[in-house]
Structure 1
Amino acid sequence: MNSKNHGVAGSALKAVCSVYIPVRSPLDSAAWWQRHFGLEYAVPFNPAESQVILKLSDGQWLHLVETEGPIDNQFPNKAGEAMFRMTFEVRRIEVLYERLQSSGVQTEGPEDRGSCGINFVFYDPDGNKFDVNECVRVHRTPEETERLRSRLFQPVTS
């Protein structure tokens, strides 16, 4: 790998500003994201663009792009498991997880991923797979983290 930075100090890439998601109906998809996650339009809808642009709380844009082709934002990892292409960071992951479940959103998990935190997976109406994460060790006290783990991962008793 070439170690020359060509005049760029540190990493040249600062952040991800936009993510593009294939959908069948941008307006219907936008309504779903608004209902379940409280996202707002970043710019007014322009039908000529065939997309809706929503804004995440930290300012990144989520482009819901109309497609007539196959929708598949997943890929298989080496073990053949379907992987998501991105993870959303959240606070109070248990509240979001329970709200999505009670609203009938398809979810998987939750899962304790150790030092990475607690995650769960959800699917949008077009079948796009997304991951959600809370780095609980960073944002909660050890006592709060244990209470959360007890709440989400209660041992199964017969």
Structure 2
Amino acid sequence: MNQKLLRIGTTYIPVADVEQASDWYINKLGAELSYKDNDKAILNFANQSIFLVKSLKDQSSNFYDIYGHERFSITFEVNGLTALEAIHKDFKKKEIHVGEIENRGHAGRNFVFYDLDGNKFDVWSELSPTFKEKYQI
């Protein structure tokens, strides 16, 4: 078998209220609504489909590492430190719960942010080389 996985097409994110969560993603992150019913919303942004799935109370996509630190399951990428600083400022202006810009000891800088349901996400200032090449950035 010479086939391989080519890309991640969809990410599923648990939410308490599909209507409220989809509005938040559309208005705060610029997502485009593709489909919505009472149980889920399909959004397109960051070159991916994101399914917001109505879930049981207090569910999130976060997890804890072996040191007890809460971790995110998704890192979004932007093109450079200037872009990272600009989106960080924009998120603050939109009253999104964001962390400070961090130096984690690797290339680039990062910050975290949370959606209405407490799902934690990361933003990194470095685009992957493959993405840059494919989209000629």
TM over 0.5: yes
Which of the pair has more CA radius of gyration?
1
- 2:10 counterpart of 1:21: no
How many aligned residue pairs are there?
126
Aligned counterpart, 1:54 = 43
**Aligned match of 1:130:** 121
* CA-CA distance at 1:114 after TM superposition: 4.1
Relative contact order (alpha carbons < 8 A, sep ≥ 6): 1 or 2 greater? 2
2:74 counterpart of 1:86: yes
CA offsets, 1:3-41, max 9 Å, x none? xxxx215xx111111000000111211111111111101
TM-score (ref. length: structure 1): 0.72
Change (3 A) 1:17 1:129: same
What is the CA RMSD across the aligned residues, in angstroms? 2.0
Give the Cα separation in 2 of the matches to 1:135 and 1:114: 13
Matched, 1:102 2:71: no
CA distance in 1, matches of 2:29, 2:14: 18
Maintained 8 Å contact 2:12/2:50: yes
2:67 corresponds to 1:75: no
1:58-111 deviations in whole A, cap 9, x for unaligned?
2x1010001124313221112211111111112311111011112221111211
The sequence identity of aligned pairs, in percent, is 30
**Structure 2 gap segments, 5+ residues each:** 130-137
* Secondary structure in 2 matching 1:94: helix
Contact preservation (8 Å) 2:114, 2:121: yes
SS in 2 for 1:111: coil
What TM-score, normalized by structure 2, do the two folds share?
0.82
More helix by share: 1
Unaligned stretches of 5+ residues in structure 1: 1-6, 139-158
Contact 2:76–2:122, Cα closer than 8 Å, also in 1: yes
Moved more, 70-79 or 29-38: 70-79
